[in-house]
Amino acid sequence: MKQNDEKGVPMSSTSICTNSQTGCHFLSLANLFDRVIHHSARMHGISNDLHSEFELYFLPSKNRVSRNCHTSTILTPNGKENAQRIAREELTEVILKLLLAWRDPLWHFHQNMARHHKFNNLSSNKSLEMSEMVHELRKGVQKVAEKMQMLGIISNSLGTLGSREALLASDSPEWRLMNDYNLLYCFRRDSNKIQNYLKILKCRIVPEHGC
C-alpha cells in the first residue's frame, strides 16, 4: 500500500537540494519546522495523557474556579483569524514566551510528583519528559527563529521584549499557587497553542512543504 508517513519528516525534505542557496535554506527551514512541530505534538500528547490520568485518579473538586493559568498574561491569539493576522515575529515570540514560561513550573511539578509519589512510575517519567521537552522545544524554536531571521523572513525585533515578558510570567508566583490539576490543565492548553502556532507559522513561511 502506498503510504506516506506524513507524521514524520517528509522524505522529500531530506533530499540534497541543488537549487539556489535560498531554496536549500527553505528546505532546511521546512525540515526544522517539521521537527519542532513533531516535537511539540509529542509534548502535547504527554500533557494530555497526564491530564486525563490526573482527572481520573485525582478527581478534582468542583472547585476549579481558579482556572487561572499563569500564562494568561501572555497575549495569545485565540482564533484562526487572529493567528493569521498576527505578525510572524509576534507569533514566534508568543511561542517562545510560552515555552519559557513553562520551564520552571514543569520542573517543579515533576519534582513535586516524584517526591510525593503522587504518580506512578510511568506518569512520573512522563512528567519528567514533559519538563525536558519544553526545554528542548524552546531551543528548537529559537533555532527556527534564528534561521528565519537569517533568511530575512522575520525581522530582528525578536528577543528581548519577549523574554522579558516571559521572565515576568515565569517569575510570577502565580504558578506556585496552582494546584497540580490546574497546572496540568493549563499546560495542556498551552502546549496545544504552541503546536498550533508552529503549524500556522510553518504554513505561512514554507507553505509548499506539506501544508
Partner 1 sequence: MRLEMSSNRQQRLCVAMMRNVGGVIVLSLLLVFVQLAAGESFSPPGTPKNIICRSPEKETFTCWWEPGSDGGLPTTYALYYRKENSDTVYECPDYKTAGKNSCFFNKNDTSIWVTYNITVVATNALGRAFSDPVEIDVVYIVMPNPPEEVTVTVIEDTNWPFLRVSWEPPEKADTRSGWITLIYELRIKLENEDEWEVHPAGQQKVFNIFSLRPDSTYHVQVRCKPDHGFWSEWSGTTFVKVPDYFPRERSMWILIAVFAAFIILTFTFIWLSYMKIHNLKHYVLPPVPGPKIKGFDKKALKNGKFEDIFSSLVVSDFPPTTSNYEDFIVENLEVFVPEEQELIMEDSKDLQDDSIKSENSTCDNDSGRGSCDSHTLLIDKGGGDKEEALQSDQEGSQDERVPTSPEEVMEEDLLACCDEKNSPDISEKVKFTPSLISPLPRYNLMNQPNPPEIGKKHCLSDSLLNPDSLPSYFTQPPSTKNDFRSNPWECNFNHKQHPLHPQTTGKEHLQVQNEISWVHVDRTEASLGVQAPSVRSTEYVEVQRVSGGNMVLLHPVSAGQENSGTMSHQTEHYSRVKTVNNDSGLLLLQKESTGEEMGICLSEEEVESRATSNGYTASITPTSEKPMVGINSTLPILDDRMASGYVDTATMFGLPTY
Q: Which residues bind partner 1 (CB under 8 A)?
A: 1-7, 41, 44, 48, 67-68, 72, 76, 78-81, 83-84, 189, 192-193, 195-196, 199-204, 207, 211
CB 98 within 8 A of CB 189: no
In the bound state with partner 1, the residue whose beta carbon lies nearer, of 77 and 105, is 77
Closest to partner 1 by CB, 130 vs 201, is 201
Q: How far is the CB of 74 from partner 1 (least distance, A)?
A: 12
- Crossing angle, helix 103-116 and helix 88-101, to 10 degrees? 30
- CB nearer partner 1, residue 48 or residue 124: 48
The CB density around residue 12, as the number of other CB atoms within 10 Å, is 12
Query: Between 44 and 138, whose beta carbon lies closer to partner 1?
Result: 44
Q: Least distance in Å: CB of 160 to partner 1? A: 26
Find the shortest distance in angstroms from Cβ 12 to partner 1. 13
Distance, in Å, from the CA atom of 100 to the CA atom of 97, rounded to the nearest integer, reads 5
Radius of gyration of the chain (CA): 18
158, 149 in Cβ contact below 8 A? yes
Nearer residue to partner 1 within complex by CB, 135 or 189? 189
Query: Closest separation between CB of residue 193 and partner 1, Å?
Result: 6
Is 89 in contact with 158 (CB distance < 8 Å)? yes
- DSSP track, 72-88: GGS----SHHHHHHS-H
Nearest distance in Å: CB 64, partner 1: 9
- Give the single-character DSSP code of 70: G
- Other beta carbons less than 10 A from residue 8's beta carbon: 10
Which lies closer to partner 1 via its Cβ, residue 3 or residue 61?
Answer: 3
By the 8 A CB rule, do 134 and 196 touch? Answer: no
